[in-house]
Copies of this chain bind each other. A is one copy, B any other.
Amino acid sequence: MHVTSERRLDDGVLERAFTLGEIPGILWMPASVSAPAPLILIGHPPLGLRRMYPRLAARARHYATEYGFASATVELPGSGERPRWPAAEQARADLRRALEAGEPIDGGIVDALVLPLVERAVPEWRAALDALLALPGIGGPVGYEGGVISVGVRLAVVEPRIVAAGLFAGSLVPAAMFEEARQVTIPLHVLLQWDDEGNDRQAALDLFDAFGSQEKTLHANLGGHTGVPQFELDTGARFFARHLR
């Protein structure tokens, strides 16, 4: 891990931009750390870190100032400045065409769009976790939150250092991920936007039903994809506070 820049924000939070090989990332640390801080990995849709920065930083700073958590995120494969690959570009184009034509989204498009992203992203997030947990001041346990929900599901299944996950039921989910969801056993906090224009509500409810976890809670709110109410930010933080302390 190579720190490329560092600055102290006005709330005292220390923000470090880093690269891990080719992959850019950001780490936010609480102003002062007495004991090693729990860590939250903040996931996001594949829209590029630069575009996602305001939302990610707002969450990280809330976690740091209110709960003393460290947070980190890394760029997804094929997003931001990272190289595209042809199959993903093709899948995105197919999705766009289907949406514009008002056609139902074919399962093949969803698979082509999401499964390769999961295959590529999950090992990178695990490598980032190795590097982050080796830093002074970060001790775990680790929570994961955010979309792409399939990345979160896979991480929850394969990465034992992640002990709780806050997932956003706001993306297309390949049929194969429903089977994987049954293998998830860590506590889950799932957000669902009731009127999410790009999402199938019943599929989101079915996915929630499929999770194997003994503790799972679904918070559904009125509104579209980006309309998650402000109060849910702290509800999610309190979920992590219960499980990362």
> Is A97 close to B, CB under 8 A?
no
Known: A205-B205, A231-B242, A235-B235. A218 touches B217 (CB 8 A): no
* Chain B nearest Cβ from A22, distance in angstroms: 40
Contact status A217-B242, CB under 8 Å: no
Tell me the count of chain A residues lying within 8 A, CB to CB, of chain B. Answer: 22
Q: Do most interface residues of chain A lie in helix, strand or loop, or is the interface mixed?
A: mixed
Contact status B205-A216, CB under 8 Å: no
> Is A52 close to B, CB under 8 A?
no
* Chain B nearest Cβ from A17, distance in angstroms: 34
Residues of A187-245 at the interface with B, using a CB-CB cut-off of 8 Å, are 194, 205, 208-209, 213-222, 229, 231-232, 234-235, 238-239, 242
Instruction: Give the CA-CA distance A234 to B238 in the complex, in Å.
Output: 10
* Chain B nearest Cβ from A216, distance in angstroms: 5
Contact status A208-B235, CB under 8 Å: no
Q: What are the residues of chain B within 8 A of A218 when measuring CB–CB?
A: 194, 218-221
CB-contact partner of A222 in B194, B214, B231, under 8 A: B214
Query: What is the count of identical protomers in the complex?
Result: 2
Q: What are the residues of chain B within 8 A of A215 when measuring CB–CB?
A: 222, 229
Contact status A208-B220, CB under 8 Å: yes
Instruction: Give the CA-CA distance A221 to B208 in the complex, in Å.
Output: 10
Instruction: Give the CA-CA distance A217 to B205 in the complex, in Å.
Output: 15
* Chain B nearest Cβ from A244, distance in angstroms: 14
Contact status A220-B220, CB under 8 Å: yes
Contact status B216-A219, CB under 8 Å: no
Q: What are the residues of chain B within 8 A of A229 when measuring CB–CB?
A: 215, 217
Residues of A134-170 at the interface with B, using a CB-CB cut-off of 8 Å, are none
CB-contact partner of A213 in B208, B222, B234, B235, under 8 A: B222
- Given A205-B205, A218-B218, A231-B242, 17 new contacts (CB under 8 A): A194-B208, A194-B216, A208-B220, A213-B222, A215-B222, A215-B229, A216-B222, A217-B219, A217-B220, A217-B221, A217-B222, A217-B232, A218-B219, A218-B220, A231-B238, A235-B235, A235-B238
Spell out A's residues near B (CB within 8 Å): 194, 205, 208-209, 213-222, 229, 231-232, 234-235, 238-239, 242
